[in-house]
């Protein structure tokens, strides 16, 4: 995206999702799923992830950049709220093959044409300035020749990557895999846990937009540290929640914080390493996020087998989240300073 622009990358990756989902509708063997859904759809999803949103927003916005990133983050939650029940209904009524085929049609017939028709790499290609740009229309900055070589020589990159790895460990990898089993072990019904996740998704929309708004006014580092601290406190409390009212209160509190770290981390990456390099650098920081999610998804099952429940797992996740607060507070610089690579 930094080198060729988001438009061509998103076009190809949306096509990959459509192709992989269409093929998955006809799969017969487990390895078909690994290749079609795990590799092809997975690679396509990577090109349409929050890395793409960061690359686009940092090209198109100077003012209210955090808010724009927050709206895109909220759109991820809104999509889950809207499409998950629809796809579940199709699965129950017509089977899972209809679901994968519907995904393929949605991506090929709706999303791909929208990308081709409306998405542009830079405002200058339309004779426009970035939102909030007050200077004469500048030429788009070219990416550094070796952005990661420079980034990896700075402590800020490792602090951001480590903290975002903790973000993945304490959200998608842990909750989307293990929250429902944890709730069932505490006597909650499957429907109650489904409602809990729905509440998290709904409040996440508000929390992510608010996070972007806050970052525009108060900076990124302080709010980001606070988000990890609040997340840690909620995770430490989770093993002791046994009532439905307490669970819903937790869902609201945690949901407000679920993706609030994304606008702050993405915007801080652009500030630290240059918006012309944000696709590459934030891509690797997002890799740390996904690595943390993978460790949590697999590691929590091992800890559960050893301990018999999830109490220790969620408590440790809370400690890690508080550690994330410390990592963010160690970031001392918040602006892009070109560094000569020797």
pTM: 0.80
- Tokens 């550094």 locate to 144
CA–centroid distance for 82 within its chain: 18
CA–centroid distance for 112 within its chain: 21
Is residue 231 very low, low, confident or very high in pLDDT (cuts 50, 70, 90)? very high
Superfamily, domain 149-329: MFS general substrate transporter like domains (1.20.1250.20)
Does the pLDDT at position 339 exceed 60? no
Cβ atoms of residues 301 and 168 within 8 Å: no
**Crossing angle for the helix pair 261-273 and 155-170, nearest 10 degrees?**
160
Does the pLDDT at position 274 exceed 90? no
- 77-91, 241-255, 296-310: range with lowest mean pLDDT: 77-91
Does the pLDDT at position 21 exceed 90? yes
Question: Positive or negative CA dihedral for 123, 128, 129, 135?
Answer: positive
Structure tokens given for 11: 């076009």
Q: Report pLDDT for 57.
A: 87
pLDDT one-digit tens code per residue, 126-154: 888 888 877 765 566 677 778 898 899 99
Cβ atoms of residues 303 and 205 within 8 Å: no
Domain boundaries defined on the chain: 6-112, 149-329
pLDDT one-digit tens code per residue, 240-267: 998 999 999 999 999 888 888 988 998 8
CA distance 212 to 224: 11
219, HSE (Cβ side, Cα atoms, 13 Å): 12
118: helix, coil or strand? helix
Is residue 334 very low, low, confident or very high in pLDDT (cuts 50, 70, 90)? low
Q: Which residue has the higher pLDDT, 164 or 191?
A: 164
Q: Report pLDDT for 342.
A: 42
Residue 131 has φ and ψ, to the nearest 5°, of: -60, 125
Terminal C-alpha separation, the chain: 26
């Amino acid at each position: 995206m930094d080198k060729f622009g988001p438009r061509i990358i998103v076009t190809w990756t949306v096509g990959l999702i459509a192709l992989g989902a269409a093929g998955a509708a006809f799969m017969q063997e487990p390895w078909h799923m690994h290749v079609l859904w795990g590799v092809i759809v997975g690679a396509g999803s990577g090109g349409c992830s929050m890395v793409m949103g960061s690359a686009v927003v940092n090209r198109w916005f100077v003012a209210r950049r955090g808010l724009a990133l927050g709206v895109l983050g909220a759109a991820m939650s809104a999509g889950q709220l809207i499409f998950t029940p629809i796809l579940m209904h199709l699965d129950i009524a017509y089977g899972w093959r209809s679901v994968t085929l519907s995904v393929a049609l949605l991506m090929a017939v709706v999303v791909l044409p929208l990308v081709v028709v409306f998405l542009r790499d830079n405002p200058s290609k339309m004779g426009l300035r970035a939102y909030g740009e007050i200077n004469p229309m500048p030429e788009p900055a070219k990416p550094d020749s070796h952005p990661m070589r420079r980034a990896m020589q700075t402590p800020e990159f490792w602090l951001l990557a480590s903290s975002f790895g903790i973000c993945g460990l304490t959200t998608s990898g842990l909750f989307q895999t293990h929250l429902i089993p944890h709730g069932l072990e505490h006597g909650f019904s499957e429907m109650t846990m489904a409602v809990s996740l729905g509440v998290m998704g709904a409040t996440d929309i508000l929390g992510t937009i608010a996070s972007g708004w806050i970052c525009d006014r108060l900076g990124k580092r302080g709010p980001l540290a606070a988000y990890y601290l609040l997340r840690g406190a909620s995770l430490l409390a989770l093993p002791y929640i046994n009532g439905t009212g307490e669970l819903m209160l937790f869902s609201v509190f945690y949901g407000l914080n679920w993706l609030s770290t994304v606008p702050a981390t993405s915007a801080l990456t652009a500030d630290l390493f240059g918006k012309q390099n944000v696709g590459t650098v934030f891509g690797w920081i997002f890799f740390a996020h996904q690595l943390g999610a993978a460790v949590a998804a697999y590691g929590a099952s091992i800890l559960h087998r050893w301990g018999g429940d999830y109490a220790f797992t969620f408590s440790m996740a809370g400690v890690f989240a508080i550690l994330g607060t410390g990592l963010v507070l160690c970031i001392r610089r918040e602006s892009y300073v070109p560094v000569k690579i020797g």
